[in-house]
Amino acid sequence: MTARVAGATATARPSHPVRIAALDLGSNSFHMIVVEARPDGSFIPLVREREMLRLGDLVARDRVIGRRAADEAIAVIARFRSIAEANGADEIIALGTSAIREALDGNLLVDRVRVETGVKITVVDGTREAELIFRAIRSSVVIDPGPALAADLGGGSLELTVGDRAELAFATSVHLGVGRLTTELVANDPPSDKDLKRLRARIAGTIEPVLGEILALRPRQLIGSSGTFVALARMAAAGRDGIVHEAVNQLTVGRAELEALRDRLYSLPAAQRGKLPGAEPRRTDHLPAGMAVLEYLMDATRLAELTVSDWALREGIVLDAIATRDRVELLGDSQALRRWSVLALCRRSNWRQPHSRQVAALALGLFDATAGLHRMGPAERDLLEFGALLHDIGGHISRQNHDRHSAYLIENGGLRGFSPQEVRILTTMGRYHVKGTPRATFEPFAQLGKRDRSRAVALTSILRIAEGLDSSHRGLVQAIRAEPPGDAGRLSFVLTARAEPELELWTVRRKQALLERTFGVECVFRAEVTGRPGPDAGPLGAGLG
C-alpha cells in the first residue's frame, strides 16, 4: 500500500478506521507515530519512532542546518515513510517546527525532502504548534483544577498555552528552546554562576512580555510536555519514590523534589547527570537550561507542582486529523477523558460489555453498602468503576489466564487521564480479580506506596465479589444492600434478584475471603427473589457511561 502524503489534515470523513502517520520534525528530535484512528476520536498506536538530530543546536549556532545535517534528516524521513507504509498508513502528515522555520536554508530542506522522499512538510508557526500541542495535552491529562498553564519545551522554542477542557484561552511561542539556550548561553559544564545568571535573565526577559496575559487567566495547574520536562519529572520522581517510572503520563512532582534535583543538575557535569536515576544520556547537556525555564514558570505563577503529559505535537496532529475528518472533540468535565479512555480500551479489546457493565454496577453497590467499613471516597469509587469495566478485557487474548492478560492490557493500554499510581491500582485489580492476594512479586503492585497498596487491595476485594455476583453472566442481581450489623464482626448482604442466583451465591462463598481479611468481618450473602426476568430485561449496569 502507498500512503497518501499530505502537509495538512484531510477533509474526507470515512466512517471506518484509517491509519495515519504523524511526523513531528522538531528542533531536538524527529518523531513519528503511526496510528489506527477511529471515528469516535480514539486511536491505537501501532508504531513509534524517534531520531535525535538536534537541528536546533545547529541553527542556534550557525543560522543554517547545513548539507550534512540535511542529508541525515532526509534519510530519517525516508526511513519513517518506509515504516509508515509498511504499517499500512493511508496518510502521512509532516509538520516542521522551530529549527526548520528559522533556518536560512529551511526551504531548501523542505524542497529536498519533497523531491527525494515524496513527503510534503508543512512548516507551521509557533502559535499553530502550540494549539496542536494543547489539543494533545487536554486529551491526555486531566485538567483539574483548571485552567492550566501548559508548557511544551522543545529544542528551539517554548510553547505556552492556557486553557481547560472546554477551550483554549491563550497560545503563544517564544524563542526559549533548550538547544538554543544551551548553545548560546551555557559555556561551562557544569554551568557556572555566570551561565545561570545569563540563562535566568534571558528566560525572564523573553517570557515577561506575555506573563501578564497568562497570569490574568489565573492558571491553577502547570502541565509540561516533550522530552526535557518529562525527563525532569521522571528524575525528580525517581529521587522521591526510589523507582524510575516508565509510564509518566499524569505523573506529578512537587517543588521540593524538583529543587533537590535542581541542586544536583547545577553542580554535576553532564557525564554524571546522565547517571542519575531516570536520566536520558543524550539529553543531559540540556537539563540545566530546562530546569531554569521550569524554575521561572513555577516562581512566576506560584504553582507548586508540575504534571507531565506524554502526548505532545505528534498526538496533536493525529487528533486534529481525526477531528477534521469526523468532527469529533472531547469536551466535558475532568471525568470525561478518563471514561472515554477506559471505554475506548474496552472496545479495542472486544469486551463482554453487558457483563462488564453489570459488574461495574454491582461493584458500586457494594462500595456504597460498605462505606462505613472502608471509609474510601469518590476517587476510589471512580477507580473501582473503571477497574470493573476493564477487568475482563484479557479474554480478548485468551480465556485461560485472562486475569493476567487483563493486567497486561490495562498496564500497556495507554489510558489517558490516570496517574501512574492509578494505572498500577487498575492493573492490580485486573490481575487479582479472580483469585490470590496482591503481592510485591507483582511489579505494578510493588511500585505502589503503602497507602496505594491498601487502596488496591480493598478495591480488588470488592471487585472480586462483584464479579462473582454475575458469574452466570445473566444479570440476575438487581441491587445490593447491607443489613444493620447484628453480631460483632458479622456483615450480612441482601441481594435483590430476578431469579434464584444459585451460581452467584456459590461463587461468592469461594471469593469472599479477601474481603473478609481486608475489612476484618465475616460476610453472609442471601438473596430475595422478586420474579423471573422478562425477555427484554437487561443487566443492572446497562445504563452506565
Distance (Å, whole) CA 545 – CA 430: 20
Domain ranges of the chain: 4-124+315-326, 141-310, 334-529
Distance (Å, whole) CA 455 – CA 465: 16
Q: What's the gap between Cα 433 and its chain centre? A: 24
pLDDT of residue 16: 67
Helix axes 334-348, 378-390, angle to 10 degrees: 20
In CATH terms, the superfamily for domain 141-310 is Exopolyphosphatase. Domain 2 (3.30.420.150)
User: What count of Cα atoms within 13 Å lies in the side-chain half-sphere of residue 101?
Assistant: 19
CA-CA distances (angstroms) from residue 28 to 46, 180, 210, 259, 326?
23, 10, 25, 25, 32
Beta-bridge partners for 309: 225
CA-CA distances (angstroms) from residue 436 to 267, 404, 442, 515?
48, 12, 11, 12
Asked if the 334-529 domain carries CATH number 1.10.3210.10, the reply is yes
pLDDT of residue 376: 94
CA-CA distances (angstroms) from residue 120 to 17, 75, 82, 128?
23, 15, 15, 18
CA nearest 23: which of 370, 411, 438, 316? 316
Please identify, in words, the CATH class of the domain defined by 4-124+315-326.
alpha beta
pLDDT of residue 298: 98
pLDDT of residue 13: 44
Element (H, E) at 94: strand 91-96
CA-CA distances (angstroms) from residue 300 to 162, 208, 528?
14, 9, 62
Q: Is the pTM of this model over 0.85?
A: no
Structure confidence by residue, pLDDT tens digits, 148-200:
999 999 999 999 999 998 889 999 999 999 999 999 999 999 999 999 999 99
Structure confidence by residue, pLDDT tens digits, 390-449:
999 998 888 888 999 999 999 999 898 899 999 999 999 999 999 999 999 999 999 999
Which residues of the chain fall short of a pLDDT of 50? 1-2, 7-14, 327, 330-332, 534-539, 542-545
CA nearest 469: which of 531, 407, 512, 533? 512
pLDDT of residue 396: 82
Distance (Å, whole) CA 350 – CA 464: 21
Domains 141-310 and 334-529 in one fold = no
Peptide bond into 219 cis (omega under 30): no
Residue type, 327: R
Residue type, 70: A
- Of the chain, the percentage scoring pLDDT greater than 90 comes to 77
pLDDT of residue 335: 65
pLDDT of residue 487: 66
